[in-house]
Structure 1
């Protein structure tokens, strides 16, 4: 086992306490939330869209459109999908690569310091590129074996960088993949969260950099404890607080 007996006992006690107080969402309900997300934004759904419909489904970040992928990933918080799967808040809308200005509906890209207007055709091309990379990344996760090793996740990291370079190394990209594969990724979407909690598990992080290198350690621990990864992240937050 990755965890020593002292940590296992501490985690099981925390689980029992949190579960008794209703702070752990039952696995069946978690599965429903993930299924709902997949039914709206899974690879098969995105494959069916193109043009402006694809652009707006993926990247319309306005408060008017609450049915877009970026809205669901960052803001959605209701009975259909509560905001319990790791925050990607902060920064500007450009973290998604493109966004539509509220004032005039023009699509923008670039950096906060140097923004650039896009034609509608150029914005659609961005959406197609992101959609295609999300589909390729999901295919990589589909092939990732259960009980995967550090080396399997290292290979996944390298493949993500090659097949989905514009989306995989973003918090929103990691969250998208997590929502589809919660049994293979953990809901920490930035590296410093991953490494903070790995140290709390008394684990030395795998060598190298990347958002997907450490996921396997958390999944292994969750499997050893016999709980969903979401329950593990709740327990870790309860025991150790936020990264500092």
Structure 2
């Protein structure tokens, strides 16, 4: 009988290494289940070990950390390698799929493994934890009945402005909140592009370091953001994970 593929949420950033540091982010039963597994699939084995070290503070691991198997699945993993990652589950072993941050398989290469697991009749069990996208929608004040995640926009300024206009148009026509992300060191450029391209009445939310002590969430219309940026009042979000939302 195949094992179960558990989709294990990670933190959205550094939480410190004290006892109970995860308790307000990762439910206790999720921590306890994670500690019982000895096979994981993760984007990066090193950061996955760091996460397991935090788990181990309050929940002893099934095996010493150096004996726990961690296979990598990231953008460089060829599709042909996915079957090998599932082999332990087909042999009856439970596994945990862990993202670099937040929930796996959402804006995450783990989705391909989950799809293949379903094709092989493997039980997939999603576990509760932080999603930066949903937290941003919740706190933005924008439309939570209809929203779409668009990932990264083009880095070329002209193409990026064109894409922003497309998203704003769709948002206005369908009353649909549009979500996007950017490489953290380009957050400033993204906000400047949104403020310069969007209509003055379009709502723009900037949600940074969600669930962390440095969390910041601000929703203003495009005209207000443009005035703030002109006055040199850029949010404190340089090199910090940020979700951008707009509603035309």
Which category describes the TM-score, using the shorter chain as reference length? under 0.3
- Bigger share in strand: 2
Q: TM-score normalised to the size of structure 1? A: 0.24
Q: TM-score normalised to the size of structure 2? A: 0.24
